[in-house]
Amino acid sequence: MVIAMREGCQKAEVAQVIAQLREYGLEPRIISPGPRVVLGVVEEISRALAQEIIASLADREEVEEINTFESSWKLVSRGFRPETSQVRLGRCQVGGPGVAVVAGPCAVESRAGILEAAAALAPLGAAGLRGGAFKPRTSPYSFRGLGEEGLKHLAEARELTGLPVVTEVLRASEVELVARYADVLQIGARNMQNFALLEAVGEVDRPVLLKRGLMATIKEWLLSAEYILARGNWQVILCERGIRSYDSETRNILDLSAVPVLKQHTHLPVMVDPSHAAGKRELVPALALAAVAAGADAIMVEVHPRPQEAFSDGRQSLSLEEFAAMMPRLEKVAQAVGRGLARP
């Protein structure tokens, strides 16, 4: 339920409405403090109770409008916040007028490697640097990251280039450690419904990049985002990275229809990761262009100075030359849909 107060109403009037809602056992939240105060009630309530609350508030002149939720997600709903949220990415905003491009290798393999990648990507227009210090791998024998050492290398790359760092956190117990070094905490596809981890990142002052699960529905994905917002962290970016199918021609199926669907349902900005969807570097630029045309607020691509030497996901990683060739094309598509590329 969303309750919009009359513009310019007094704090005492808002307090009275909050007190009245608390009499029903509810805990309203102030979504927008002014100039037009908006209150939100996220608890599950029956239709009969909702109608009783609406009737009890109907005579209050300071209450301008009351809307009830029609979806099982609440805080992430456009009914809760009609305008698209903007999430900080260094000096850029994901969800603003520009399309942000986050790029970098799948994993932080060495200090020299991540510094080389960052130094090359910054002048090419990247708005953020991606790289995994902790890597969830299908095989326990695959390279699984450098851990805190990798986080330190990412932080050094940020200091040298100014690129904000996006990196994955795997466990609730490691959230504080990763947040010490990273600008954006990534929740990977395998952890989309790790609810303890979602609640943990909801309690830190860091933007969160929430990837769609391998076989998750959009509803399940939005409800996972709800866990984060319900803990107080509103800085969430949704990332479509492809869902599993029977076709082996690509690693996953990129669900571009999810972009406009999400735009209907939620105020959270949307990113697309064409690298994990394609699994083949030659397909990545076309999917990235299509994602921008579909309305994505950001793109995440894997880029490696020497993809053939990558410890992981080399087959889907663009070379620096391929990334440089893609960026002007992305700019043209962004301009064609009334946007541009976000510049750090």
- Say what the pLDDT of residue 236 is: 98
Extract the tokens encoding 143. 């390279």
Query: Pick from 150, 145, 91: which is nearest to 122 by CA?
Result: 91
Its pTM stands at 0.85
Quick one: average pLDDT of 318-325?
Answer: 98
The CA-atom distances, in angstroms, between 153 and each of 48, 115, 180, 205 are 56, 8, 13, 22
pLDDT value at residue 166: 98
Residue 228 has pLDDT above 70, yes or no: yes
CATH class label, 2-67: alpha beta
> What is the structure's pLDDT at 69?
66
Q: Where are the domains of the chain?
A: 2-67, 87-341
* DSSP structure string for 239-299: EE--B--S--SSSSB--TTHHHHHHHHBSS-EEE-HHHHH-SGGGHHHHHHHHHHHT-SEE
pLDDT the model gives residue 70: 60
**CATH homologous superfamily for 87-341?**
Aldolase class I (3.20.20.70)
Q: Please give the average per-residue pLDDT across 159-164, as a whole number.
A: 97
Using CA atoms, how far residue 285 sits from 127, 176, 303, 317, in Å, is: 17, 35, 12, 11
Provide mean pLDDT across the span 238-265.
96
Asked, colleague to colleague, whether 2-67 and 87-341 share their fold, the answer is no
pLDDT of residue 168: 97
In this model, does residue 138 exceed pLDDT 80? no
pLDDT for 91 beyond 80: yes
Q: What mean pLDDT, rounded, does the chain reach?
A: 93
* pLDDT (average), residues 54-65: 90
Determine the pLDDT at residue 241.
Answer: 98
Over 70: is that where the pLDDT of 232 sits?
A: yes
For residues 192-202, give the mean pLDDT.
Answer: 97
What pLDDT does 66 receive?
A: 86
What distance in Å separates the CA atoms of residue 89 and residue 93, rounded to the nearest whole number? 6
* Residue ranges with strand state E in 96-207: 98-104, 128-130, 165-168, 184-187
pLDDT at 230 over 90: no
